[in-house]
Amino acid sequence: MVRWIIITGSSISQGSIEGGYKANGRPLFLARAQIEGVMTPGKCGYHLPGAHIPYRSEERIVEEYNVLITSKTPGYFDWQSGSFGNVPSHAFRMDDGIYVVRAFYRGGLVPGKVDSCRSAYISYGGEEIRIQNYDVFCEIKLG
């Protein structure tokens, strides 16, 4: 089972889902924050001052945000391939048709989003980067 909890700064909670890593190997976790009324996924880490959210051509940094945690039940979620805005039917859906994704970029594996416009984005270096090929966070039903 997975759920979102509220945190601030770089206080990553135990059980947070690691969604990727920086080129130097530092882990990145699945985060979301409210931007202009929409809960939008992005990344967070022990080394980052808050959640880094791709939004309207920028990397927005949000001090108070949610991180996705799990009870570590094996088989509950998995990453599956997506491209050009497409997501599997069992993708983990958020508000307004937004999905959690991750993509390889500049030596790292960076969490981000597929939005209602069916485009995938990550944040990197202060910018929102459009991505064509990515992995989608999916719910897997047991039994």
**Residues contacting residue 82 through CB under 8 Å, at least 6 positions apart:** 88, 91, 101, 114, 120, 133, 134, 135, 136
The predicted pLDDT at position 141 comes to: 65
27-43 per-position pLDDT tens digit: 999 999 999 998 999 99
**Residue of 142, 94, 100, 90 lying closest to 122 (CA atoms):** 100
Query: To 5 degrees, how large is the angle CA 14–CA 70–CA 44?
Result: 60
What residues make up the domain containing 16? 2-139
Integer Cα distance of 66 and 133 in angstroms? 25
Residue 73 has pLDDT above 70, yes or no: no
Mean residue pLDDT of the chain comes to: 91
108: tokens are 């790292």
- Decide: helix, strand or coil at residue 68: strand
**Residue of 24, 6, 28 lying closest to 102 (CA atoms):** 28
Domain count along the chain: 1
pLDDT grade for 72, boundaries at 50, 70 and 90: low
- Decide: helix, strand or coil at residue 26: coil
The predicted pLDDT at position 143 comes to: 47
